[in-house]
Amino acid sequence: MALAPYATTGQRIWYYGFRVICGLIFFFLIAPILVIIPLSFNAQDFFTFTPKMLALDPEGYSLKHYRDFFTSNDWQQAMWNSLKIAPAATLISVSLGTLAAIGLSQSHVPFRGAIMAILISPMIVPLIISAAGMYFFYSRIGLQGTYFGVVLAHAALGIPFVIITVTATLIGFDRSLTRAAANLGAGPVRTFFKVQMPLILPGVVSGGLFAFITSFDEVVVVLFVGSAGQTTLPWQMFTGLREQISPTILAVATLLVGISILLLAMLEVLRRRSERLRGLSPS
Amino acid sequence: MADGTAHAGTDAFVEFERVQKSYDGETLVVKDLNLAMPKGEFLTMLGPSGSGKTTCLMMLAGFETATHGEIRLDGAPINNIPPHKRGIGMVFQNYALFPHMSVAENLAFPLEVRQLGKSDREAKIKRALDMVQMGDFGGRRPAQLSGGQQQRVALARALVFEPELVLMDEPLGALDKQLRESLQFEITNLAHELGITTVYVTHDQTEALTMSDRVAVFDDGRIQQLAPPDELYESPQNSFVAQFIGENNTLEGVVQELKDGIAIVRLDDGGLIDAVPVNVAEVGERTLVSIRPERVEHKRERLSPDAHTLKAEVLEFIYMGDQFRTRLRVAGRDDFIVKSRNAQGQDRLRPGETVEIGWLPEDARALDA
């Protein structure tokens, strides 16, 4: 929006002031992340920029921390653990969350508000409280310290994201489509997979991505519920920071930033696709 | 309404017998509905919103369950058959085309459900699309079509699996007037050509009159009258139908005399008129007399010598091209309309003028008050 020719002095000040504020917000959000990236290529085992790096001398940079990450047993084990836990947790979150969202969008379901609030609560309750609660509960039923326990815990954390995104997509879903499908002879299961699912898929997938990232980034709950066998990447980074301050963490962090950007880009593509489908559909 | 009442054992194709529907368990949206349709009939359910017509359609489609009574299709009760097993085609008000499928895929959907082979499917899809003149649009997405084209596709999809009964829920409501008229024509032609039984729901009376074999006028959860369009317009059975179908003048009064099939009605301001007694039974009853605007005559010489006439003051004269529309004050009401054809020698009444109006006794109908 360009500045109008009749703008008053106050409006002019606000016009530029607003841009400065926005710039500052972006700076504080992004700078800490950006600074990690060059540091991860540090040739030394330091967390700071060396004089050589500042001089842009190629000798000041190296991939050794990345090599560390890909060769160290601990890190590789952690990565595999994360890659085993996150997809399983995502799968559970997506299936249960989508079903819950569809159920809760039916007007005849009683206590919808209360059920929704309970299902969303893992997102609102402080993580440490959920973690402590899960620890005691899972210990009692023998899930504490197991792979399945961690997966379940992460699924519980991911479900709210799926419910929220799918519910949002369902608001724009035209109910007469399911009626049309039934009228044309399709049973409920076929209607769900052939008509409803393809149309709410963007919501399901973006919910799934959030659930995946939640599990992939999660450190508090896994510390409580997991055992040494379930050391995930964030857990390894956490211990790495505490015990052996190595820039390998920075290399891992850079990789994670890359993955996050990739996932966010996917989300955006999906969002545009769904808008195209819905924006032009008659509803 | 004897012709519309269902009798067990008749060869009606679609039957509603004593059907009631209540959403909340207290108020009845549909009250004691009885209806029998022969095969191949085009029947329109017409009524104001909230009259129960859409609920009836939804019960027939299976999306709503009847609270009481029985619905039969081809003699067999369908109350307990889920919608996807009824094999009834339906065209929805907002088209309800699947936006993620192409036109051809939309049409293939009901055929895939019925496990037809690929070549069979393609032949049927092609025939259905050609039928609605959309043969070249199979590869398009619904979003790439105009409203009228989408409705054509929706129609093709409802017909492609060759159902014997097709339901249409205000299918033309979202289209502009011209398109609506051409599609009305196409739909009736198709329905008659294919010999399908059609139940059409609308609140547009022109649509109902022009398209249907019979029209069921709904109000207050009941069928007020079930009759062919001409009978409905010319011989409404009660004042609701008279008011709802077409333009109508009403005069209020009391039946003074009943003889030889003519009722003499004393209007509230003292005037006397002749009318056909429709649902007034005895002298002294209050009645609403209904007269169509085009049946009112203001030239004394065209009326029979013993016809009763009323004094009328011209309030407004509107020139409409093919016809004149004159608003009069008659018997204390100032909304009395007379329509006259713009013919050679037709009078153009001027506001302020006083004329004498009358009509043939059979054009005035004494209905319930």
3-state secondary structure chain A: CCCCCCCCHHHHHHHHHHHHHHHHHHHHHHHHHHHHHHHCCECCCCCCCCHHHHCCCHHHECCHHHHHHHHCHHHHHHHHHHHHHHHHHHHHHHHHHHHHHHHHCCCCCCCHHHHHHHHHHHHHCCHHHHHHHHHHHHHHCCCCCCHHHHHHHHHHHHHHHHHHHHHHHHHCCCHHHHHHHHHCCCCHHHHHHHHHHHHHHHHHHHHHHHHHHHHHHCCHHHHHHCCHHHCCHHHHHHHHHHHCCCCHHHHHHHHHHHHHHHHHHHHHHHHHHHHHHHHCCCC
Name every chain B residue with its beta carbon within 8 A of the beta carbon of A278.
99
Residue A185 touches partner B, C-beta closer than 8 Å? yes
Name every chain B residue with its beta carbon within 8 A of the beta carbon of A273.
none
The domains of chain A, with CATH numbers, are 9-60 (no CATH), 75-277 (1.10.3720.10)
- Determine phi and psi for B24, rounding to 5 degrees: -110, 5
Are A182 and B62 a contacting pair at CB < 8 A?
Answer: yes
Tens-digit pLDDT profile for residues B140-161:
889 889 888 999 999 999 999 9
Question: Rounded distance, CA B171 to CA B155, Å?
Answer: 9
Tens-digit pLDDT profile for residues A128-144:
999 999 999 999 999 88
Are A198 and B100 a contacting pair at CB < 8 A?
Answer: yes
Contact B89, B165 (CB under 8 A): yes
Average pLDDT, chain A: 87
Looking at residue B339, its amino acid is K
* Residue B249 per-residue DSSP state: E
Residues on B contacting A at a C-beta cutoff of 8 Å: 61-63, 82-90, 92-100, 109-110, 113-114, 141-144, 147, 150, 157-158, 161, 174
> Where does the pLDDT of residue B213 fall: very low under 50, low under 70, confident under 90, or very high at 90 and above?
very high
Q: A126-160 as b/e, with b when 16 or more CB fall inside 10 Å?
A: eeeebbeebbeebeeeebbbbbebbbbbbbbbbbb
Instruction: Report the pLDDT value the prediction gives residue A97, as an integer from 0 to 100.
Output: 95
Instruction: Report the pLDDT value the prediction gives residue B10, as an integer from 0 to 100.
Output: 58
In this complex, the residue of A179, A184, A277 whose CB is nearest that of residue B113 is A184
Are B110 and A185 a contacting pair at CB < 8 A?
Answer: yes
Instruction: Report the pLDDT value the prediction gives residue A117, as an integer from 0 to 100.
Output: 92
Question: Rounded distance, CA A229 to CA A189, Å?
Answer: 39
Identify the three-state secondary structure at position B242: helix
Q: From the CA of A173, how many Å to the nearest CA of chain B?
A: 11
Name every chain B residue with its beta carbon within 8 A of the beta carbon of A190.
113
In this complex, the residue of B114, B142, B144 whose CB is nearest that of residue A185 is B114
Interface of A with B in 187-216 (CB under 8 A): 187-188, 190-191, 194-195, 198-199
Name every chain A residue with its beta carbon within 8 A of the beta carbon of B87.
185
Question: Rounded distance, CA B14 to CA B277, Å?
Answer: 33
In this complex, the residue of B87, B92, B144 whose CB is nearest that of residue A185 is B87
Least confident among A18-22, B162-166, B196-200, B359-363 = B359-363
Q: What residues contact residue B171 under an 8 Å CB cut-off, 6+ apart?
A: B91, B92, B93, B151, B154, B155, B183, B187, B200
Tens-digit pLDDT profile for residues A193-239:
999 998 888 889 889 999 998 898 899 999 999 888 888 988 988 88
Tens-digit pLDDT profile for residues B29-69:
899 899 999 999 999 999 998 888 999 999 999 999 899 99
Are A277 and B143 a contacting pair at CB < 8 A?
Answer: yes
Name every chain B residue with its beta carbon within 8 A of the beta carbon of A106.
none
Give bridge partners of residue A205 from the DSSP assignment. none
In this complex, the residue of B85, B92, B98 whose CB is nearest that of residue A195 is B98
Tens-digit pLDDT profile for residues B79-116:
999 999 999 999 998 889 998 899 999 999 999 999 98
Are A185 and B161 a contacting pair at CB < 8 A?
Answer: yes
Run of H or E residues at B110: helix B103-113
In this complex, the residue of B87, B88, B113 whose CB is nearest that of residue A190 is B113
Which residue positions in chain A have pLDDT lower than 70? 1, 274, 277-283
For residue A183, the chain B residue with the least C-alpha distance is B84
Run of H or E residues at B217: strand B214-219
Number of Cβ within 10 Å of residue B277's Cβ equals: 20
Instruction: Report the pLDDT value the prediction gives residue A283, as an integer from 0 to 100.
Output: 35
